[in-house]
Amino acid sequence: MDQSRTKKEALEKLFDPKEFLKMYYSFDSTSSEKNDILMFLLRNFFKTFILDGVKGNTLIHIGAVPSIFELLSACESFKEIIITNYMDRNCQELQKWLKKEPGAFNWTPVVKYVCELEGDRNKWAEKEEKLRRTVKQVLECDVTKFNPLTFASLPPADCLLMCHSLVGICNDLSTYRAALKNVSSLLKPGGHLLMVNGMKCSHFVVGQHKFPCLFLEKEVLEEAVKEAGYDILKFEVTPICYPDSLVEHEEISYLVASKGKGKED
């Protein structure tokens, strides 16, 4: 049986979206490694989308977990956002929040923090509604396939955003490089790629289950991004780590790159 198919079936069976969100994104005012990482990423997204002016018509979010925090500043800079995810269970969890269904994860503390960065903490309810309006589709996406969105016909995006999207899916570096090229086919030349990765990671934990991750070093990631046809504009690494009980890793990285014009997939 195909390795990627086996891995996807294991994730679909054992990965609990609700438990994941509770363990990793329960955000409060107390200082903790989890909060520090989330604030590091939210500040970077704010800078990229609001201060640096990365904007356009369409942003495609390539996801492997059911999170929306990456999109809170992006919805101010893009007319439409298309959310894709590796697992159907995560798509369902995301739809709960978008449709304000009972049992949806409470992102409000995170939204308030982003609104504070943007200048008015009290506009959190407006921000949530704006993001819901801006998200036009939620689709399943298999990054290991040459055509990741097999049944969807989408115009080339102005921005691709990936947060921990490939390291938990790809078994080896060759699969990782291929997956990065696969998703790059969704981005127009000159468009921006934003990537967040756990670096030198061996596994992450959700509930009682331990999930393996691809061990990724800075130089290897840089090489893969350049090989996929990108020019790196920013690459920031922080030594802030999740507790060892959650993730075994050494750093978190935030990368912004531009897809070379005239480079076809």
167 annotated as belonging to a binding site for a ligand: no
Q: Are 86 and 11 in contact (CB under 8 A)?
A: yes
190 annotated as belonging to a binding site for a ligand: no
113 annotated as belonging to a binding site for a ligand: no
143 annotated as belonging to a binding site for a ligand: yes
Q: How far apart are CA 218 and CA 88, in angstroms?
A: 31
90 annotated as belonging to a binding site for a ligand: yes
103 annotated as belonging to a binding site for a ligand: no
How big is the chain, counted in residues?
265
**Annotated binding-site ranges for S-adenosyl-L-methionine:** 25, 63-64, 90, 142-143
**Annotated binding-site ranges:** 25, 63-64, 90, 142-143
